Structure 1
Amino acid sequence: MFTNFLKYKKSSRAEIQENQDFQPFQKENLHPNLHNNMDTIKTVLGNSSDVIFREFQIAGGIQAAVVCTDGLCDPITVSDFVVKSSMHAQDKTLIPNQNNPETIVQTVKEQLVTFWDIRELSDWKQLYLAVLSGDSVLMLDGCDIALAAGTRGGENRSITEPSTQTVIRGPKEGFTESFRTNTSLIRRKIKSPKLWLEEKTIGEVTLTTVGIMYIQGIANESIVQEVRNRLDGILVDGILESGYIEDLIQDGVWTPFPTVFNSERPDVIAAGLLEGRIAILVDGTPFVLLVPVVLTSFLQAAEDYYQRYDFGTLLRILRFCSLFIALLFPSLYVAIASYHQETLPTSLVLNLAAQREGVPFPPILEAFLMEVVFEVLREAGVRMPSTVGNTISIVGALVIGQSAVEAGVISPAMVIVVSFTAITNFVIPSFNFGIALRLLRFVFLVLAGTLGMYGIAVGLLIFVLHLSSLRSFGVPYLKPFSPFIATEQKDALFRFPIWAMNTRPHFASKNLVREAPDQKPQKPPGDRSRDDE
């Protein structure tokens, strides 16, 4: 499947590369003349007012110019470490051979510019990428090589608590839209020199920085190479969020279930890296991707490992139960109310029949109406301003539900079923996995309304077969349940103590041992005070 995907990408790449307008920056060498370079930059960038040029002279009277983008660079850093250091050194440092461009560049790089991050640029594509990323580019007259200083700055959102994955106990910091801030947050958690970072530029127009982060020696090298291949196969005009990358590299195309995990919590990503997974960071978004993943990854929360193991196990079992309730509860009610009334006690059947007396719709249509109403209220609460969104959603649900019951359109039991189902959907820690359950709930409603319990049984069979066929970068989606791996049950449905989880997941890591075997707390010595007495 992936081979066909690469063939399609190669053919598409060839077609796109024939269109020169799609590629704004060509790989051509710089001009030796300074003013020609400046005129070219102004022409290509359309004389943009936020692109700033500063001309001055350096040692020996050589003409130079610094170009940077206002708002993307730090002006104080540009002034102090690039411009001032070069200008103030002109009477103290002389370039021995001003006719040799290589000597000029090396002298300026090693003796004049006092900035720590300096690299050479030889073509226009590198220059435009540096300028439009916030770096300052120093161009010298008579040299066809420019120097780029890492002066990226500008306004960035401060580190705050994640809004989508909150915890009671645990770190309160979350990723931001700054790529370098996100990498630093992960390195604060993992200070090992084996934590490697590879950067790529994806997007022919946006030129978005995408990073691959993994722990060398723990991550499976074949999976790391697979991530590299899939990212290299992407050829689009723009990447604005990590969802673009997720959609382009995922395994399961025709499935509602996500095969790539995302999180805005550095501790969650760090924990995934320690298990041997690979993190994919995208500049401009606080959501970091994590691969490969399995079904249990979307039912685990960071707080499971910060609380006691027995409480963490209870919460995890509660999430698995909530998964089936959110998926099947309305369809079970519809199947029983329509076809299998004999499965309920007589008193309960009589109560349900009394409630449904006067309701003009069959249970299947009744459930569909209520589900659609709740989906509309949920979406309205998300899109409305935060000051009134929660109020409108809560009041709207109460008013509409109560009015529908009093008008005889909906039975009270159906309101209870749909409301409880909506609540259990929020128990799922992963938002995009909850969306998959919401979609499939409508499918099971149709099966229950047409075939009853037999329809639900057929739907569950197809559901399990579909999950068994899914892969995440070659890893079966239902691991460690199918195929069953006994040693990995310590962190699946149950959460064993930390000292008992001494191995990493087999599917993600080649280094399985992560702690010594004697980490179990020792029993404290007995109380000898009575013996002393």
Structure 2
Amino acid sequence: MSFNWNPFHKKNQENKASEPQKASPISEDISKNIKKLVEEFGDSSEIVIRELNTGRNKEIRIVSIFMDGLVDQTLVNEFIMESLMFNNCELDKYTPKEAVFNDLRMNALTLSNVKIVNDWDHLVLSVLSGNTLIMMDGWNEVISGETQGWEERSIQEPTSQTVIRGPKDSFTESLKVNVTLIRKRIKNANLRLETFQIGTVSRTNIGVMYIKGIAKDDLTQEVKTRLEKIETGSIIESGNIEEFIQDQTATPFPQLMNTERPDAAVGNLLDGRVVILIDGTPFVLIAPATFFQFFQSPEDYYQRADMATLLRLLRFFVFFISLFAPSIYIALTTFHQEMLPFPLLINLAAQREGVPFPAFFEALIMEVTFEILREAGVRMPRAVGQAVSIVGAIVIGEAAVQAGIISPAMVIVVGITAISSFAVPSFNIGIPARILRFILMISAATAGFYGMTLLVLMIVGHMNSLRSFGRPYLEPLSPFNLTAQADTFIRLPQRLKQKVTLKKDNSVKSANQLNKDGDSNG
């Protein structure tokens, strides 16, 4: 599959974000250009400048320029150096320089992607992008041949979104490879890619992919508009982009989805969403994103509908546990003991005998301890990180119980909460649960279930006010869409889902026809 990458795409953020500036021209004096380029790169040894004897016009100096480490030496040697030195031509010293330059551009280089650079900024960017420049004395344009060849990580299995059944490949840090992984799954000419460069220093390549005819035009335009408005020095990871283009910042809930799985990106493209790819990171962004989308996994569609429905309902349940379990325990043991069965109440009271702290401080100590263990397990070397997390939790929990600081029931509640937080397929949706859990604990310790109820109403109201690129965050529950319920909490079998969708489409067509008839009769 061919892939024509253009680092000088017309969608250049810097030109959009600032006032138009006159581009610095390239001098016709090759010595001045070489001196300026060497000074700009600080006389770096990475810049390779070689004068060539092309056999065309011996009186015209021609040099090749590239940055060592960013180019493929095989491409440079075989398709540029060898081609220039041994390519026979009929030019002589009387041939005009324009004809010599055109001959170099049209006949000398055996590369597939060759462009003309006519300003200094693009010349420097071309070198930094891994291209090889052919510069001719007496001419103010430069030939740029695509010869990128830096080391890249191979395609491997996903590390954060593992599956039992389904594709095992994942995105890499290469934008080209990531685009290829999507294109090989969607062989359709309507799959569009538009490229940007964001960051006045890093000049990071950004790709926006969507399927024309499926994705709405206003959505694609809004995504591109927000990207063009970004003004920053550098973009290192997709999280930098996410903070710039999300609708609202003062919220713990993610408004864009990220994934390192190509099949997840393809599924969202087919649903009419937009995928944003960032060069240098394996995680792509998906817009728009709704709350229920974070509980869906591509694996749901690779197995039976009944099993997929069971697992999806389980994910909602464990999210509820990870969010509310400690606060419910605090409310029950502090304010609402009458709601507990008497034998259980006696057991809990016996366990708490001798514990010096109220239930809220117990839960707070254990939750903070677990967050520390979780962070330590992530930062430590992989060989010992998991062992430290598991052994640390067991040892600290057992020691805390024996020391009379924590009751055994609290250890069970916090342990179940911790396990539940890892059962949701998207890591992003677990972050608001971790943050809101502490706020719910405070409300439960202050006013019991009444305080929790008021806080939950505020959270639901806040979620209902959120938008992701104009799309309601709680869609399709609010506003309610009956047809979309076939793939929200449950997953209908494919045949039934197609019948429901077809019936909806026919209903929409009938309504549109009635409106047209009414307008014509009127």
User: Does TM, normalized by the shorter one, top 0.5?
Assistant: yes
Give the whole-Å Cα distance in 1 for the aligned partners of 2:333 and 2:239.
41
After TM superposition, the structure 1 stretch with the greater mean CA deviation from structure 2, 488-497 or 441-450, is 488-497
The answer on 1:54 being equivalent to 2:50 is yes
Q: Deviations over 1:280-299 (max 9, x none)?
A: 11110000111011111111
Cα separation, partners in 2 of 1:342 and 1:93, compared to 1, 3 Å: farther
Contact 2:57 2:93 in 1 (8 A): no
Cα separation, partners in 2 of 1:95 and 1:289, compared to 1, 3 Å: farther
The answer on 1:215 being equivalent to 2:211 is yes
Q: Match of 1:260, as an amino acid?
A: L
TM-aligned CA deviation for residue 512 of structure 1: 7.4
Could you say which residue in structure 1 is the equivalent of 2:518? none
The answer on 1:280 being equivalent to 2:276 is yes
* Unmatched 5+ stretches in structure 1: 1-8, 21-25, 506-510, 514-533
TM-aligned CA deviation for residue 225 of structure 1: 0.5
Could you say which residue in structure 2 is the equivalent of 1:369? 365
Give the whole-Å Cα distance in 1 for the aligned partners of 2:500 and 2:396.
50
Q: Deviations over 1:347-401 (max 9, x none)?
A: 0000000000000000011110110000000000000000000001101000000
TM-aligned CA deviation for residue 38 of structure 1: 1.1
Give the whole-Å Cα distance in 2 for the aligned partners of 1:191 and 1:431.
30
Could you say which residue in structure 2 is the equivalent of 1:412? 408
Give the whole-Å Cα distance in 1 for the aligned partners of 2:465 and 2:94.
68
Cα separation, partners in 2 of 1:96 and 1:299, compared to 1, 3 Å: farther
Over the matched positions of the two proteins, sequence identity in percent amounts to: 46
Give the whole-Å Cα distance in 2 for the aligned partners of 1:230 and 1:381.
37
TM-aligned CA deviation for residue 504 of structure 1: 11
Q: How many residues align?
A: 490
Give the whole-Å Cα distance in 1 for the aligned partners of 2:205 and 2:493.
39
TM-aligned CA deviation for residue 169 of structure 1: 0.4
Give the whole-Å Cα distance in 2 for the aligned partners of 1:483 and 1:314.
25
Could you say which residue in structure 1 is the equivalent of 2:83? 85
3-state SS of the aligned residue for 2:345? helix
Q: Match of 1:286, as an amino acid?
A: P
Contact 1:331 1:445 in 2 (8 A): yes
Contact 1:95 1:107 in 2 (8 A): no
Cα separation, partners in 2 of 1:474 and 1:503, compared to 1, 3 Å: farther
The 5-angstrom pairing of residues 88-127 of structure 1 reads 88-89=86-87, 91-94=88-91, 98-101=95-98, 103-127=99-123
Q: Match of 1:94, as an amino acid?
A: L
3-state SS of the aligned residue for 1:213? strand
Could you say which residue in structure 1 is the equivalent of 2:32? 36
TM-aligned CA deviation for residue 60 of structure 1: 2.3
The answer on 1:295 being equivalent to 2:291 is yes
Q: Quick one: which of 116, 132, 135 aligns to 1:136? A: 132
TM-aligned CA deviation for residue 179 of structure 1: 1.0
Q: Quick one: which of 51, 65, 71 aligns to 2:63? A: 65
Give the whole-Å Cα distance in 2 for the aligned partners of 1:47 and 1:489.
63
Question: After the TM superposition, which parts of structure 1 deviate over 4 Å for at least 4 consecutive aligned residues?
Answer: none
3-state SS of the aligned residue for 2:166? coil
Q: Match of 2:123, as an amino acid?
A: L
Could you say which residue in structure 2 is the equivalent of 1:333? 329
The answer on 1:431 being equivalent to 2:433 is no
Give the whole-Å Cα distance in 1 for the aligned partners of 2:306 and 2:48.
60
Give the whole-Å Cα distance in 2 for the aligned partners of 1:97 and 1:80.
29
3-state SS of the aligned residue for 2:498? coil
Give the whole-Å Cα distance in 2 for the aligned partners of 1:93 and 1:360.
96
TM-aligned CA deviation for residue 210 of structure 1: 0.5
Give the whole-Å Cα distance in 1 for the aligned partners of 2:28 and 2:494.
62
3-state SS of the aligned residue for 2:57? helix
3-state SS of the aligned residue for 1:273? helix
3-state SS of the aligned residue for 1:212? strand
Give the whole-Å Cα distance in 1 for the aligned partners of 2:268 and 2:473.
16
3-state SS of the aligned residue for 1:452? helix
The 5-angstrom pairing of residues 130-529 of structure 1 reads 130-502=126-498
Q: Match of 1:179, as an amino acid?
A: L
Give the whole-Å Cα distance in 2 for the aligned partners of 1:33 and 1:501.
68
Give the whole-Å Cα distance in 1 for the aligned partners of 2:377 and 2:90.
65
Give the whole-Å Cα distance in 2 for the aligned partners of 1:155 and 1:504.
49
Q: Match of 2:300, as an amino acid?
A: D
Q: Match of 1:71, as an amino acid?
A: G
Give the whole-Å Cα distance in 2 for the aligned partners of 1:374 and 1:234.
37
Could you say which residue in structure 2 is the equivalent of 1:531? none
Contact 2:91 2:100 in 1 (8 A): no
Q: Match of 1:37, as an amino acid?
A: N
TM-aligned CA deviation for residue 98 of structure 1: 3.5
Give the whole-Å Cα distance in 2 for the aligned partners of 1:503 and 1:259.
31
3-state SS of the aligned residue for 2:300? helix
Contact 2:17 2:228 in 1 (8 A): no
Contact 1:275 1:504 in 2 (8 A): no
Q: Match of 1:156, as an amino acid?
A: E
Q: Match of 2:144, as an amino acid?
A: A
Contact 1:95 1:104 in 2 (8 A): no
TM-aligned CA deviation for residue 72 of structure 1: 1.2
TM-aligned CA deviation for residue 57 of structure 1: 2.5
Contact 1:118 1:149 in 2 (8 A): yes
Contact 1:231 1:249 in 2 (8 A): yes
Could you tell me the TM-score, scaled by structure 2's length?
Answer: 0.90
Give the whole-Å Cα distance in 1 for the aligned partners of 2:433 and 2:456.
13
After TM superposition, the structure 1 stretch with the greater mean CA deviation from structure 2, 398-407 or 140-149, is 140-149
Give the whole-Å Cα distance in 2 for the aligned partners of 1:463 and 1:503.
36
Give the whole-Å Cα distance in 1 for the aligned partners of 2:366 and 2:280.
38
TM-aligned CA deviation for residue 117 of structure 1: 0.5
Q: Deviations over 1:17-69 (max 9, x none)?
A: 79x9xxxxx82111112221111111111111112112103222232111111
3-state SS of the aligned residue for 1:217? coil
* Unmatched 5+ stretches in structure 2: 1-12, 507-522
TM-aligned CA deviation for residue 99 of structure 1: 2.6
3-state SS of the aligned residue for 1:501? helix
Cα separation, partners in 2 of 1:479 and 1:95, compared to 1, 3 Å: farther
After TM superposition, the structure 1 stretch with the greater mean CA deviation from structure 2, 35-44 or 379-388, is 35-44
TM-aligned CA deviation for residue 503 of structure 1: 9.1
